[in-house]
Amino acid sequence: MIQEQNEPWVQDKEYTKYTLWFIYACIIYSIIGFSWGALMGGVPAFRAIVDNYGAHGHRIVLAHTHINLLGWVEMAIFGAVYYLVPRLVRRPIYSLRLVKVHFWTHNLGLLGVVVFFTAAGIAGIYVEDSGDHTASHFMALSGIFGTLVLVANIIWGYNIFRTCSGWNKQ
C-alpha cells in the first residue's frame, strides 16, 4: 500500500508516538493484570485473603479488575481508535494536546484507583476490628482517582467526536 505524504498521520511523529504509548500501556497493564489474576488463583495464601475477608478481599479483586478493564482493554481501544479514526475520516486528530492530556490523566487516574483499592483492602483486613476508618479513606481516594479516569474518557470522546464531525463536508 502506497501512503500519500499529505496524510496527517504520516507527518505527525508526536501523534504516532502517543498512539503507540496507548498500545505499550495496554501491554504493560495486561501483563500486570494477568499476573495478578494468576497469583489470586494460583497462590493459596493470596486466594485465602481474597476469599476469606469479604468486602476487604473484594477490594483487592476490584483493583485487579480495574487494571484489566481500564488498563488493558481501554488502552487497547484508545490506541486502536486513535489509529483508525484519522484514516477513516481522512483528517488529523482534532487536538494532539487533548491526546496527551487524555493519556496522562487516564494513567494517573488508573494507577490511583488500583493503588487505593488495594490499600483499602489491605487496611480493612488489618484494622477491621479496631474502629479505624483508614479503609474508607482509601476508598474515597479511589473514587477521586476514578473521577480522573472519567474525565480522561470524556476528553477522549470529545476529541474523537470533533475529529469525526463534518467528515463528509470536506
The pLDDT tens digits for 133-170 are: 788 899 999 999 999 999 999 999 999 999 999 877 76
Tell me, rounded to whole angstroms, the distance of Cα 7 from its chain centroid: 29
- Asked if 76 and 26 count as a contact pair (C-beta separation under 8 A), the reply is yes
- pLDDT grade, residue 106 (50/70/90)? very high
CA–CA separation, 109 and 88 (whole Å): 30
CA–CA separation, 96 and 162 (whole Å): 12
The neighbour count for residue 75, using CB atoms within 10 Å, is: 24
The pLDDT tens digits for 1-24 are: 455 555 666 678 999 999 999 999
Q: Is the pTM of this model over 0.95?
A: no
The pLDDT of residue 59 is above 70: yes
Q: What is the DSSP letter of 5?
A: T
Q: Which helix (H) or strand (E) holds 114?
A: helix 96-126
- Asked if 67 and 29 count as a contact pair (C-beta separation under 8 A), the reply is yes
Residue extents of the structural domains in the chain: 12-169
